Amino acid sequence: MDLFKIFISYLFSFSFVFLVFIYFLKMPAYIAQNNELVHEYYKNYYNIIFDFFLVIAYFLIASFFIYMFQVRDNVLQLCIVALTTFIISTLFLIYFWMRPQGTSFFSRWFHQVGFRAVFFDVLLLLLIYMIMMEFYNLII
């Protein structure tokens, strides 16, 4: 795989999903059912940069398993991305639930939104990954 093509595909996919699903369709507010926290997070544009690298980290972990098990089927790759995201986000949820709610955003996010945060992460990463792989296949 060409790393430049992967990066361009990721950049396009991440940008597209954030513009359409986050800012235009307001998917996080619908899923999380907490407009105040969603607005607080996405009004700070530095969080987009944080999410950009966080999604890369999730994909790198999923890619490790895709590579380790030599998965070539796109549907199975999506399943690995979904399962990896589910496990990582659930671990974050458990971590924050084990502590009293603090003032940090993520503490309030996981305490108030709960498991819907995990569902949102899985959906977001699946959308980004699907579009990324489709765009990757279109690039010559």
**Which residues in 4-126 belong to E strands, given as ranges?**
none
| pLDDT for the residue 8 | 96
d(CA 131, CA 128): 5
On whether the pTM is more than 0.85, the answer is yes
Count of structural domains within the chain: 1
Domain that holds residue 84: 3-138
Tokens of 97: 């639930």
What pLDDT, in 10s, does the model give residues 102-119? 999 999 999 999 999 999
132: number of Cβ within 10 Å? 23
86: number of Cβ within 10 Å? 15
Burial of 31 (0-12, 13-18, 19+ CB in 10 A): middle
